[in-house]
Structure 1
Amino acid sequence: MKALVLAGGKGTRLRPLTHTSAKQLVPVANKPVLYYGLEAIRNAGITRVGVIIGDTGHEVRDAVGDGSMFGLDVTYIPQEAPLGLAHCVLIARDFLEDDPFVMYLGDNFLIDGITDLVDAFDAADHDAQILLTKVAEPQFYGVAELGPDGQIVRLEEKPEHPRSDLAIVGVYTFSPAIHEAVQAIKPSARGELEITDAIKWLIDTGHRVHSHFVNGYWRDTGRLQDLLECNRIVLERIEPGVMGTVDRLSQTTGRVVIEQGAVVENSIVHGPVVIGPDTKIISSYVGPFTSIGPNCMLQDSEIENSIILDGSSIHGVSRIARSLIGRNVEVNRTSRLPNTHQLMVGDHSKIQVSS
């Protein structure tokens, strides 16, 4: 079995961060979301992986390399424009050949991996197997309706009146029959080849399309609140360890990881927290569910339930919570009068300030 990982797309819900960075490389607990997916594929016994890349392909290539760091053999497949998930299967035909494969959307987060999904597909005789989970608001997802034996009888994309609460998760397993399906369908109203239309074609032509339910925790990390929730889940499982330096005036409690070269001075760190290498925490408070990347500076500030990316600095700011701060960002307090907020903010940003 092979794997096809989708690492293109625009990441519009995480702008402005994704104007300059691949959405699949936004970190959870200081590790890119894409890495969790590649590790899950490896742990399922798959080693040959095709990665679909788009405008941010150079960044994905730099982060993943040839795949050897994960024990994988990675082949990159450029997609000139985001023309749909089924289009990804179409352009990956030479790589996939006639082998069964897993298709994994690179911004999905499955904390317990996909081994059970792959094992179930290997043991069965299905042409497609779709991963599902129950959700509270199915109208915002692709929705599946099941028959009595777990076979999928109907799919709807973001229906106004959902017929079930079973959302389609961004991980699928396919037999070579999917290649005929993606060639048979036409672009949707939004100009894309939809994988749901290809799966509907399989159902309508009598192919075996079955369901499989998520084992454990799943999130699509396309929104800030979902990233923060994934960060919380992972941090709750980390093994604490201090490889950096913590002075006598500082206190650390709970699950705290302080990477090599990091320095904590006169500060309180209340876990679960990860502090990246060569980061400095000075006279500050770092509260639960916070990940701070490498080469950052936090001084005379307070932060919790947030993600800070590489090279950013925060000085004299109290209090930051439920936030995502990008790379090489500077957040400072000014004591000059008048007491005003001075902002330089990119497109599609969201800022909340206390009055």
Structure 2
Amino acid sequence: MKGILLAGGMGSRLLPLTQSLSKQILPIYDKPMIYYPLSTLMLAGIRDILIISSERDIKGFKALLGDGKCYGLSISYKVQSSPRGIAEAFIIGESFIGQEAVSLILGDNIFYGDDFEKTLEKVMRDQEGATIFGYKVENPEAFGVVSFNKEGKVTALEEKPKNPKSCYAVPGLYFYTPDVVQIAKSLKPSLRGELEITDVNKVYLNQNHLRVECLDKKVVWLDTGTPEALLKAANFVEMVQKMQGVAIGCIEEVAYKKGFITKSQLVALAEKMGRNQYGNYLRGLLEG
């Protein structure tokens, strides 16, 4: 399976922070925001990754991550000239996807939980059609929403509804078969002028090929698109890391534990960080 990390958008809710810098480069405590969704794809075992961003911001991601080889990855890049919706990522990434299944994650989404990796492994193992997630929230009107009947069958998908039929939001992580490219091409822009990911999911739903994995509260999902959300995410990461002594979104650690890189490669990555807190954590992985 291949992975697409969509790191586009104008970051308008974060201005002036994003006046000259991609929001996915902004820090979430001790790491750039993009480390967190990238680590999620890696936890799923995905190593061939396409990062899509604006022409202005793509240079920053290349400087940060390069071709990904030092992390045991293959990272390539494509430009989204203007934000025309999440589903456009599949059209931009058509040649990258080819005939393989693909996972798409939004660059401002953070997932963390003890059992989350097992959930990802299950999705990868059983992948057919489309798999999305459901997460209970207090403000579903701000997200895409999935509704169920009493038997747990999906009955509706809505994009930012004024009167949600459910309190289950759809987080920005999706898994699809390769026909998602043709589905995206068949869409008409919404009233917002965008190709909506909800419309992609509706096609799979109508084909009876949509599966929803509901995440419980053992998994934390954070959407970091506002200043308040940025602060909340940074405080959460700091708290967990200091209390539990584990890192969230550490791509070097994930690469090492998944067998993408060797011990000597981890040593090189640790030395690159110097003797700061992050570098010391990576050295601690070798000792532990």
Q: CA offsets, 1:43-83, max 9 Å, x none?
A: 22111001111131111221121112432110101111111
One-letter amino acid of the counterpart of residue 42, structure 1: M
Distance 1:123 1:38 in 2: 20
Question: Compared with structure 1, are the counterparts of its residues 14 and 95 closer, same or farther at alpha carbon in structure 2 (3 Å cutoff)?
Answer: same
Structure 1 counterpart SS, 2:9: coil
For residue 189 of structure 1, what is the aligned residue in structure 2?
191
Distance 1:93 1:112 in 2: 32
One-letter amino acid of the counterpart of residue 38, structure 2: L
Q: How does 1:27-106 map to 2 (within 5 A)?
A: 27-54=27-54, 55-106=56-107
Structure 2 counterpart SS, 1:17: coil
Contact 2:43 2:120 in 1 (8 A): no
One-letter amino acid of the counterpart of residue 48, structure 1: D
Q: CA offsets, 1:87-125, max 9 Å, x none?
A: 111110100111111100011111239633432223335
Which structure's residues are more often strand, by fraction? 1
Q: Specify which of 157, 160, 168 is matched with residue 158 of structure 1.
A: 160
Distance 2:179 2:120 in 1: 17
RMSD of the alignment, in Å? 2.4
One-letter amino acid of the counterpart of residue 190, structure 2: S
Say whether residues 1:2 and 2:2 are aligned partners.
yes
Q: Specify which of 144, 147, 156 is matched with residue 146 of structure 2.
A: 144
Q: How does 1:159-178 map to 2 (within 5 A)?
A: 159-178=161-180
Report 1 or 2 for greater relative contact order, CA contacts < 8 Å, sequence distance ≥ 6.
2
For residue 121 of structure 1, what is the aligned residue in structure 2?
123
Contact 2:7 2:52 in 1 (8 A): yes
Q: CA offsets, 1:10-51, max 9 Å, x none?
A: 111111010111101111122011112212222221110011
Question: Compared with structure 1, are the counterparts of its residues 239 and 49 closer, same or farther at alpha carbon in structure 2 (3 Å cutoff)?
Answer: same
Q: How far apart are 1:260 and its partner, in Å? A: 6.8
Q: CA offsets, 1:288-342, max 9 Å, x none?
A: xxxxxxxxxxxxxxxxxxxxxxxxxxxxxxxxxxxxxxxxxxxxxxxxxxxxxxx
One-letter amino acid of the counterpart of residue 128, structure 1: A
Structure 2 counterpart SS, 1:45: coil
Q: List gaps (5 residues or longer) in structure 2.
A: 246-272, 280-288
Question: Compared with structure 1, are the counterparts of its residues 33 and 69 closer, same or farther at alpha carbon in structure 2 (3 Å cutoff)?
Answer: farther
Q: CA offsets, 1:264-296, max 9 Å, x none?
A: xxxxxxxxxx8x99xxxxxxxxxxxxxxxxxxx
Q: List gaps (5 residues or longer) in structure 1.
A: 242-258, 263-273, 278-355
Distance 2:150 2:99 in 1: 30
Distance 2:5 2:107 in 1: 6
Distance 1:221 1:6 in 2: 14
Q: How far apart are 1:5 and its partner, in Å? A: 0.4
Contact 1:135 1:166 in 2 (8 A): yes
Distance 1:187 1:74 in 2: 29
Structure 1 counterpart SS, 2:123: helix
For residue 249 of structure 2, what is the aligned residue in structure 1?
none
Say whether residues 1:216 and 2:231 are aligned partners.
no
Structure 2 counterpart SS, 1:82: coil
Say whether residues 1:107 and 2:108 are aligned partners.
yes
Which structure's residues are more often helix, by fraction? 2
Q: How does 1:219-230 map to 2 (within 5 A)?
A: 219-230=222-233
For residue 14 of structure 2, what is the aligned residue in structure 1?
14
Question: Compared with structure 1, are the counterparts of its residues 117 and 93 closer, same or farther at alpha carbon in structure 2 (3 Å cutoff)?
Answer: farther
Question: Compared with structure 1, are the counterparts of its residues 64 and 8 closer, same or farther at alpha carbon in structure 2 (3 Å cutoff)?
Answer: same
One-letter amino acid of the counterpart of residue 230, structure 2: L
Q: How far apart are 1:213 and its partner, in Å? A: 2.4
Contact 2:44 2:124 in 1 (8 A): no
Q: TM-score, normalised by structure 1?
A: 0.64
Q: Specify which of 215, 222, 236 is matched with residue 239 of structure 2.
A: 236
Structure 1 counterpart SS, 2:18: helix
Q: How far apart are 1:150 and its partner, in Å? A: 4.6
The share of aligned pairs that are identical, in percent, is 32
Question: Compared with structure 1, are the counterparts of its residues 149 and 66 closer, same or farther at alpha carbon in structure 2 (3 Å cutoff)?
Answer: farther
Q: How far apart are 1:239 and its partner, in Å? A: 4.9
For residue 25 of structure 1, what is the aligned residue in structure 2?
25
